[in-house]
Structure 1
């Protein structure tokens, strides 16, 4: 997978290079040369030869340096078991890649193009293949430097975008394999202030310098008083090219600034929805510190949520234990019902969040029995009708108890299951005589688990049923007392348990 990311990264860089070269070298440079100079057909061919030869030399020089710059990234993404230190070095190197791109363009790109071009141009002038003053070569050298700067400016922002999938992959790999995050640890490779200052220079001043340079050559080539309309037509083309370049540069700068802002806005929206996902550290400017601070906040919220979860777990366990202490004959009942409910929930493909809520609902399903009188709750014999009516109040009492817990949202998902775990599928249950899928999901699941544990548990006045007898009663009560889907889930679970037990005993 990471090899594919590297190959995609290289293709992206090559595409960026073609875009940057087309805009800066071919677009701006080509238009300036061939619209400014008054060349014959033969001289145009000579100029194409000079540019083509120089471009070949430049390409070879850049390829050598490019291979060197991508070596570290290639070694990591194409390696099966890079160490954490290697990942860290590759992460920092990738962050520096836009700066390396600028150096590559100002270095082998500019020198690889300009030195052969200047040499060939002077040679052609000496051989009289080109009819132009040697001063034009100096102007061309200055223009080439300006164009290389414009190209580097474009490539910097395009490369900043291209490295982001690589940075994200390195962070994922390090977290997955080494369990450690990757970070610049507050280092700012290029400040936002520097970006704005240099961008203003390239967007505003460089096109003016190029226009001034081209105008100087153009005025030398023509008699202004005789060709004023042609001059203004030419000037319009040059100014249009400069305006397009400036607009494109401004767009790149805007995108570089707005992307991390959008990342933070999305992260804050996720936090608001309680989706605590850290943001990827994809930026080498001050936004790196902002993202790092945001991630620290997310980690703090995760730790706080985990603390709150543990407190709630402890609260549920405490209430369940308090009930067991009140009624020692049913000690452990709530815990067993919770375990059975989770098994049914998993079989029914409930989500992890639903399983967590189901477990806690089942732990507290009988909490209302705390409000039942001792002489009724602890009675050894058969209950009278009046006493049974007292027992039947416990789902409502339990729901009322949980409604008093603050914050209310902590218990809101548990209350329906607690209130409805004695409803019957055929509508003859209590307290609300709900039927079918009107009964809340957790109530239907807990009803099956609660019935099985009640039937198979010993009481002072009777011995618990056998598993097979209890399962037979559940089977016969499908669609009347209990939800058929969850009875089938429980029967399948018990059948699997029995099968596993037989296999273990045979071994």
Structure 2
């Protein structure tokens, strides 16, 4: 596949250029300009680098192909399953970090170990006359050069993987309807990237110069060379400390607004549309201002949707009540009484909102009851009453047809259970005591009170005091004793102060 070849060529090109610069240019120039050696010894040292470079390339190609295997197989087939696509997607995201591992692993050791062994062999055979101490200085220099190469390789690989990530996401979305996302998973933390990169940028020249100066001074004066590291150590310590403090401050300055935005996004994800404080004077100020603008837009839309939903519930209740002029407003009054009970019981704002909407729809199942039964003025027959008793289940079934299903789920239990009795003799499920859902127990009290105090064609509504007496007598049998008791106590207190 063309994309894979392009991706592979880009990675190889980045790696070869970085390796040539780090090993041949930096290493070679450092040797030639630092050591006072003969032409023949210089060529022998360059041959050591060349042989070690070939060994390093051989080992690293083996590891590199292992890292690329899944990506190659996935991009070369047109019918990869979803699990394979996802595994390749994650592997692509691991490539920048694996590039660092390859450079510190087979790259560094594949170069250093052969070079050290060949150099020691040449020293023993008299082919080189450099001090053996230089071998360890060269090893430290190799670590420094590998660190610089690893940093460059990491960021080049980050740029190279983007087209492949895009293609794998496209395939998953087109073929399976799944959009891959890391969902907050972090392969390399930005704090780590900034801290290590800036530390390396700040300290690399210091260490490289110190090593080169040590070698150069060794050629001029042994005494000065021996005293050199006492002075150089202090300078290096100051330089490293400064680089670390600077890197830490820069990292914190970048990481702080990112962490703030991440927390704010989690709040929005949980449904809490809160804006975040804008305390910055750089580009992060624009980013946070854009985030807050988005949240304000969501707040406006949320408020509009809430009003539309409230109107929708109220319209359904009004449409139901309109079928029977004698029960007009029944659902609205039951909702008001239910909210009152919810507040007396200490429910939170969210629970009270759900209770209010549930109460508005508690009789929605009566839409399925025929008019000659629902509007009948006389006593219902057993068959007719069984039709009326089916309305809680019918109401639940109606609400289950509304999408999205999870949005209607909180209302189902209250609609189904508002005719259950506390003693277990209610319908449709014969639930008893606290097995009856909370909203069902609350709405049962509100529904009974309004039914008793409302006029019907065949009777006038009871006085409030009579209805309250019946509720009081039915505590613990027909109604939940706590909710019935609260309601009776509150209503009597209101009547006494009226």
TM-score (norm 2): 0.56
Q: Give the match for residue 447 of structure 1.
A: 444
Listed one character per residue, the Cα deviations across residues 343-385 of structure 1 (whole Å, up to 9, x for unaligned) are 0000001010111111111111111111101111001111111
Q: Give the match for residue 483 of structure 1.
A: 480
Q: 1:233 aligns with which of 227, 230, 234?
A: 230
Q: Give the match for residue 337 of structure 2.
A: 340
Q: What secondary structure sits across from 1:383 in the alignment?
A: coil
Q: 2:281 aligns with which of 281, 284, 290?
A: 284
Q: 2:490 aligns with which of 493, 500, 504?
A: 493
For the 8 Å contact 1:281–1:291, the answer to whether it is kept is yes
Listed one character per residue, the Cα deviations across residues 364-411 of structure 1 (whole Å, up to 9, x for unaligned) are 111111110111100111111111111101111111111111122232
Alpha-carbon shift at residue 249 of structure 1 (Å): 1.2
Q: Give the match for residue 354 of structure 1.
A: 351
Aligned-partner Cα distance in 1 for 2:203–2:411:
66
Q: Give the match for residue 202 of structure 2.
A: 204
- Count of aligned positions: 295
Listed one character per residue, the Cα deviations across residues 31-78 of structure 1 (whole Å, up to 9, x for unaligned) are xxxxxxxxxxxxxxxxxxxxxxxxxxxxxxxxxxxxxxxxxxxxxxxx
Alpha-carbon shift at residue 500 of structure 1 (Å): 3.0
Q: 1:433 aligns with which of 430, 433, 438?
A: 430
Aligned-partner Cα distance in 2 for 1:463–1:497:
23
Unaligned regions of 5+ residues in structure 1, if any?
A: 1-195, 502-507
For the pair 1:255 / 2:214, whether they are aligned, the reply is no
For the pair 1:366 / 2:363, whether they are aligned, the reply is yes
Q: Give the match for residue 270 of structure 2.
A: 273
Q: Give the match for residue 376 of structure 2.
A: 379
Change (3 A) 1:356 1:201: closer
Q: 2:466 aligns with which of 465, 469, 477?
A: 469
Aligned-partner Cα distance in 2 for 1:382–1:200:
87
Q: Which runs of 4+ in 1 moved over 4 A?
A: 199-203, 205-208, 223-228
Matches within 5 A, 1:43-442: 204=202, 226=223, 228-442=225-439
Q: What secondary structure sits across from 1:382 in the alignment?
A: coil
Alpha-carbon shift at residue 201 of structure 1 (Å): 12
Aligned-partner Cα distance in 1 for 2:223–2:267:
67
Unaligned regions of 5+ residues in structure 2, if any?
A: 1-193
Aligned-partner Cα distance in 2 for 1:224–1:252:
41
Alpha-carbon shift at residue 206 of structure 1 (Å): 13
Q: What secondary structure sits across from 2:457 in the alignment?
A: coil
Aligned-partner Cα distance in 1 for 2:371–2:356:
27
Aligned-partner Cα distance in 1 for 2:223–2:497:
102
Q: Give the match for residue 139 of structure 2.
A: none
Q: Give the match for residue 84 of structure 2.
A: none
Alpha-carbon shift at residue 268 of structure 1 (Å): 2.0
Aligned-partner Cα distance in 1 for 2:318–2:401:
19
Aligned-partner Cα distance in 2 for 1:413–1:225:
85
For the 8 Å contact 1:362–1:418, the answer to whether it is kept is yes
Alpha-carbon shift at residue 228 of structure 1 (Å): 4.6
For the 8 Å contact 1:203–1:249, the answer to whether it is kept is no
Alpha-carbon shift at residue 202 of structure 1 (Å): 13
Q: Which has the higher contact order (CA 8 A, sep 6+)?
A: 1
For the 8 Å contact 1:376–1:383, the answer to whether it is kept is yes
RMSD over aligned Cα atoms: 2.7
Aligned-partner Cα distance in 1 for 2:345–2:205:
67
Aligned-partner Cα distance in 1 for 2:362–2:490:
22
Q: What secondary structure sits across from 2:281 in the alignment?
A: coil
Q: Give the match for residue 127 of structure 2.
A: none
For the 8 Å contact 1:444–1:486, the answer to whether it is kept is yes
Listed one character per residue, the Cα deviations across residues 452-493 of structure 1 (whole Å, up to 9, x for unaligned) are 111111111111112111111111111111111111221222
Alpha-carbon shift at residue 496 of structure 1 (Å): 2.9
Aligned-partner Cα distance in 2 for 1:248–1:500:
71
